[in-house]
Amino acid sequence: MNEVAPHTLNPKIGRAPGWQGIVADWSSDQRAFKNVSWGKAMMWIFLLSDTFIFGTFLISYMTVRMSTTVPWPNPSEVFALEIAGHHLPLILIAIMTFVLISSSGTMAMAVNFGYRRDRRKTAILMLLTAVLGATFVGMQAFEWTKLISEGVRPWGNPWGAEQFGSSFFMITGFHGTHVTIGVIFLIIVARKVWRGDFDDGRRGFFTSRKGHYEIVEITGLYWHFVDLVWVFIFALFYLW
Amino acid sequence: MAQPTAHTDAQQHPIRLYLVVWCWLFVLSLCSYLVDFFHVAGYLRWSLILIFMALKAGLIVAVFMHMAWERLALSYAILVPPLVLLVFVGIMVFESEYTLFTRVAYFVAGS
């Protein structure tokens, strides 16, 4: 199969500053994103579309919360836990936030070591990211179990506005699905890195093309996006 | 494959940078948790939440996702379209206020 070089034609293509550069890139022949590979550009465009999905979820949550005449349940109390006799508001969500941010940190470093061709460190950091991601999903499962046992349903809950349950399950469910897919994605790429696929040019099982270390950065983009979405959910759903 | 050298100059930053950003994300998350912990309320609460959220999102996109070093043609193509969502938010604020008005005027009082 003909391999189209997926990378930079010439990374040093001159760039005019500011708006002139943008206009020059977009009005040029064939490709607008001059020094960005198709893989990275496509991941960014996918993430843009995902932004709109989560954006509409959060906007519909805002709409139901603003238009209900019944008081909204207080998330600070709904998600509180008793730990060692102390009543801590929102503690589980705070821990989940720290876990996910940590996983973003390890992912960023994995990308860095990937570009340094450090197979071992890249794979270990990616697997660590996957473990933290799986921990997050586990804690979310615990949270769902707790809320369901307390009587929260998409059509009602014991504390107030019925829309609370549907918003909660829709938004966190969709986000949790993204995290789960990200963990699977991370494990697959980490295995390839560990095996040295990107050094010896082994062809992929599905695409039968050679991979590159750039896939680590593309996986990282997806993972950071999942963290980014959580930042918005944490602020707008749990803290508001 | 002629690519190995083509990409080595891309996205090479010292590990220290990531650790510093990581620390900041921790601090900002802690701050937003403390907003809830100390029961800050009203406009102060909402503005603090939004400020911490925006700072965290900015750090993640700019440094972890390397947007700060991408060519502007890509940055603008990705970062400008989501701003349209703010228009959507505006539309739905009007819509939900109207829905709330009709509910208060025609359902709650009469029931």
- The per-residue pLDDT for B88 is 96
Kindly indicate the confidence band of residue B45, based on its pLDDT and cuts at 50, 70 and 90: very high
- The per-residue pLDDT for A87 is 83
- The per-residue pLDDT for B1 is 36
Chain B partners within 8 Å of A11 (Cβ): 6-7, 9-10
Could B96 and A67 be called an inter-chain contact, meaning their C-beta atoms sit closer than 8 Å?
A: yes
| Same domain flag for B43 and B9 | yes
- The per-residue pLDDT for B6 is 41
| Same domain flag for B16 and B61 | yes
| Same domain flag for B49 and B86 | no
Q: What tokens were used for A237?
A: 């759903």
Kindly indicate the confidence band of residue B11, based on its pLDDT and cuts at 50, 70 and 90: low
Whole-number Å distance between alpha carbons of B69 and A15: 13
Judged on CB neighbours under 10 Å (0-12, 13-18, 19+), A206 is exposed
B105 touching chain A per CB within 8 A: no
| Same domain flag for B86 and B42 | no
What separation in angstroms does the CA of B54 have from each of A47, A176, A236, B32, B48? Answer: 18, 22, 12, 11, 10
| Same domain flag for B93 and B69 | no
| Same domain flag for B16 and B55 | yes
Min distance B80 CA to chain A CA atoms (Å): 10
- The per-residue pLDDT for B4 is 41
- On the question of pLDDT at B37 being above 90, the answer is no
Which residues does B94 contact at the CB level (< 8 Å), separation at least 6? none
- The per-residue pLDDT for B9 is 47
B19 touching chain A per CB within 8 A: yes
Under 8 Å between Cβ of A6 and B3: yes
Choose the closest CB to A94 out of B33, B49, B61.
B33
Choose the closest CB to B25 out of A101, A213, A236.
A101
Min distance A39 CA to chain B CA atoms (Å): 13
Judged on CB neighbours under 10 Å (0-12, 13-18, 19+), A228 is buried
Q: What tokens were used for A190?
A: 């980490």
Q: Of B67, B70, B71, B97, which to mutate for an interface test with A (greatest number of A Cβ within 10 Å)?
A: B71
* Predicted TM-score of the model (pTM): 0.88
Whole-number Å distance between alpha carbons of A50 and A137: 19
- The per-residue pLDDT for A13 is 60
Under 8 Å between Cβ of A79 and A89: yes
| Same domain flag for B42 and B96 | no
Which residues does B106 contact at the CB level (< 8 Å), separation at least 6? none
Helix (H), strand (E) at residue A87: strand A86-88
Give the residue from A227, A194, A219, A191 showing the smallest Cα distance to A103. A227
| Same domain flag for B50 and B90 | no
* φ/ψ (deg, to 5) at A88: -115, 120
Whole-number Å distance between alpha carbons of A89 and A181: 30
- The per-residue pLDDT for A228 is 95
| Same domain flag for B101 and B85 | yes
Q: What's chain A's length in residues?
A: 240
Domains along the sequence of chain A with CATH: 37-239 (1.20.120.80)
Radius of gyration of chain B, Cα coordinates, nearest whole angstrom: 22
Min distance A205 CA to chain B CA atoms (Å): 19
| Same domain flag for B9 and B35 | yes
For residue B108, what are the domain limits?
Answer: 80-111
Choose the closest CB to B22 out of A26, A105, A115.
A105
Chain A partners within 8 Å of B81 (Cβ): 48
| Amino acid, single-letter form, for residue A36 | V
Q: How many structural domains are present in chain B?
A: 2
- The per-residue pLDDT for B3 is 41
pLDDT in tens, chain A (240 residues): 455 544 444 555 667 788 888 888 888 777 788 888 889 999 999 999 999 999 999 999 999 999 999 999 988 888 888 887 788 888 899 999 999 999 999 999 999 999 899 999 999 999 999 999 999 999 999 999 999 999 999 998 999 899 999 999 999 999 999 999 999 999 999 999 999 888 888 888 787 888 888 899 999 999 999 999 999 999 999 998
Does B109 or A201 have the greater pLDDT score? A201
| Same domain flag for B42 and B94 | no
Could B1 and A5 be called an inter-chain contact, meaning their C-beta atoms sit closer than 8 Å?
A: yes
For B105, the closest chain A residue by CA position comes to A69
For B35, the closest chain A residue by CA position comes to A239
A-facing residues of B in 65-94 (CB < 8 A) are 65-66, 70-74, 76-78, 81-82, 85, 88-89, 92-93
Q: Which DSSP symbol is given to B71? A: -
| Same domain flag for B64 and B27 | yes
Chain B partners within 8 Å of A7 (Cβ): 3, 6-7
Place of tokens 């990200």: A182
B16 touching chain A per CB within 8 A: no
What separation in angstroms does the CA of A151 have from each of A73, A157, A168, A176? Answer: 13, 6, 13, 21
pLDDT digits 0-9 by tens, B12-26 = 788 899 999 999 999
Kindly indicate the confidence band of residue B107, based on its pLDDT and cuts at 50, 70 and 90: confident
Could A115 and B88 be called an inter-chain contact, meaning their C-beta atoms sit closer than 8 Å?
A: no
Could B61 and A67 be called an inter-chain contact, meaning their C-beta atoms sit closer than 8 Å?
A: no
Whole-number Å distance between alpha carbons of A104 and A97: 11
